[in-house]
Structure 1
Amino acid sequence: MRIVADLGKCEGLGMCEAMAPDFFEVDEDGVVDVLDAEPGEEHRTDLTAAVDACPVLALTLQG
């Protein structure tokens, strides 16, 4: 599985960071940093919730 962030869409609202702080962090520029782009399958439920929480649809999971 791979986390993909569309930085052009990201507005730095931080919903992803609130849902999965081990994988997302909004930097001082107000854009998300993906901390682990290829997490293990055991994290799929939490990451799906974080991706679904993004109000601007800037995140996707591949694989």
Structure 2
Amino acid sequence: MALMITDECINCDVCEPECPNSAISEGEEIYEIDPNLCTECVGHYDEPQCQQVCPVDCIPKDPNRVENHDQLMEKYRIITAA
């Protein structure tokens, strides 16, 4: 699954620099995650780094973007090959 940022986001800016795929960007009101770039840090780290640093715990898995580990690894390979 890709991750998503909920409206509980306080725009603290700590998640964006932690994303190895540059999937996080500042949206109109809160930060957003591009699901096409989010691999939940598969291929880079054991745990999603944005979730690790988020002080308000507002980065859950996106239930509309169900992906297994193999799919996330394939997405990682495509992103890093580009």
TM-score by length of 2: 0.54
Max radius of gyration: which structure?
Answer: 2
1:16-55 matches, cutoff 5 A: 16-20=15-19, 22-29=22-29, 31-36=30-35, 39-40=38-39, 41-43=42-44, 45=45, 48-55=48-55
Q: Given residue 42 of structure 1, which amino acid in structure 2 is its aligned partner? A: G
Per-residue CA deviations over 1:4-39 (Å, capped at 9, x if unaligned) read 2212x101111110101611112243x011122673
Higher strand share: 1
SS of the equivalent of 1:52 reads helix
- Structure 1: runs of 5 or more not aligned: none
Q: Matched residues in 2 for 1:47 and 1:37: separation?
A: 18
- Structure 2: runs of 5 or more not aligned: 63-67, 69-82
Equivalent pairs, count: 60
TM-score by length of 1: 0.66
CA RMSD of aligned residues (A): 2.7
SS of the equivalent of 2:32 reads strand
Runs of 4+ in 1 over 6 A off after TM superposition: none
